[in-house]
């Protein structure tokens, strides 16, 4: 009678070898993730250690003193960040909105007025769509603020106020995918939002009034 090779048996070495490979792959992934998180933390630490707080204070004060609406704009991933920050301000009772740079050049620029602020988020500060938007927004009399990770960008030079977000590099191995730059944009914007919340002495009751539904509202209203 013939016999099966160990690798052909249900619990043979073939299956064990496959499990070992899968285990090794899982271990390698764990090590990779640990290294990536540590590296990202270092990049974020670089941002915190090099952020110009006096510049940030001026930016925050400008938003606090705004008489009109605070508009945010950006392209691509920076645009998503700009939209989220705007929504955070709205949830705090601050007049804000997101202005699509493309739609702005096709009629939506009409919403901008002389009492309004336009905050332009861009990693490079050389985004064509935003540069084309500058003269149109200036013609409307809006105050322009550039938030970039380049000290010498065209956008920074064209705006009334410029904020520099220090960026060592992207976590992406090619230094291309905007995964660290967008993280620091979000941290910057949301931290400024909470500073505004504190400066305006927003109460829990006022905050709850803006969140009538969902867990936030229920936790504040039905206590």
Domain spans of the chain, in order of start? 51-195
pLDDT at position 31 is: 87
Candidates 220, 184, 218; CA nearest to 202 is 220
3-class SS shares of the chain: helix, strand, coil, % to 5:
55, 10, 35
Tokens of 55: 């510049």
CA angle 50, 55, 61 (to 5 degrees): 140
Q: Write the pLDDT tens digit of every residue in 161-181.
A: 999 999 999 999 999 999 999
| Rounded average pLDDT over 37-63 | 99
**Whether CATH 2.70.98.60 fits 51-195:** no
Predicted local distance difference test score (pLDDT) of residue 213:
79
Give CA–CA dist 100/159, Å, rounded: 18
Residue written as tokens 């992406």? 172
Which pTM value belongs to this model?
0.86
CA pair distance 23, 35, nearest whole angstrom: 18
Q: Exposed, middle or buried, 89 (CB in 10 Å: 0-12/13-18/19+)?
A: buried
pLDDT in tens, 67-87: 999 999 999 999 999 999 999
């Amino acid at each position: 009678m013939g016999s099966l090779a160990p690798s052909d048996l249900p619990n043979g070495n073939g299956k064990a070898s496959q499990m070992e490979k899968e285990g090794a792959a899982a271990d390698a992934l764990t090590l990779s993730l640990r290294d990536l998180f540590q590296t990202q933390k270092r990049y974020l630490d670089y941002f915190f250690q090099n952020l110009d707080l006096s510049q940030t204070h001026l930016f925050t004060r400008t938003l606090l003193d705004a008489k009109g609406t605070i508009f945010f704009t950006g392209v691509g991933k920076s645009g998503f960040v700009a939209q989220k920050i705007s929504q955070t301000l709205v949830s705090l009772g601050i007049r804000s909105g997101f202005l699509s740079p493309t739609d702005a050049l096709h009629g939506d620029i009409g919403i901008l007025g002389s009492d309004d602020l336009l905050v332009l988020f861009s990693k490079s500060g050389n985004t064509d769509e935003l540069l084309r938007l500058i003269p149109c927004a200036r013609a409307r009399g809006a105050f322009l603020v550039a938030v970039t990770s380049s000290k010498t960008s065209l956008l920074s030079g064209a705006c009334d106020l410029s904020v520099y977000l220090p960026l060592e590099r992207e976590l992406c191995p090619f230094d291309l995918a905007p995964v660290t730059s967008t993280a620091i944009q979000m941290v910057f914007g949301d931290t400024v939002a909470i500073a505004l919340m504190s400066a305006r002495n927003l109460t829990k009751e006022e905050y709850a009034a803006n969140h009538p539904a969902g867990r936030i509202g229920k936790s504040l209203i039905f206590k």
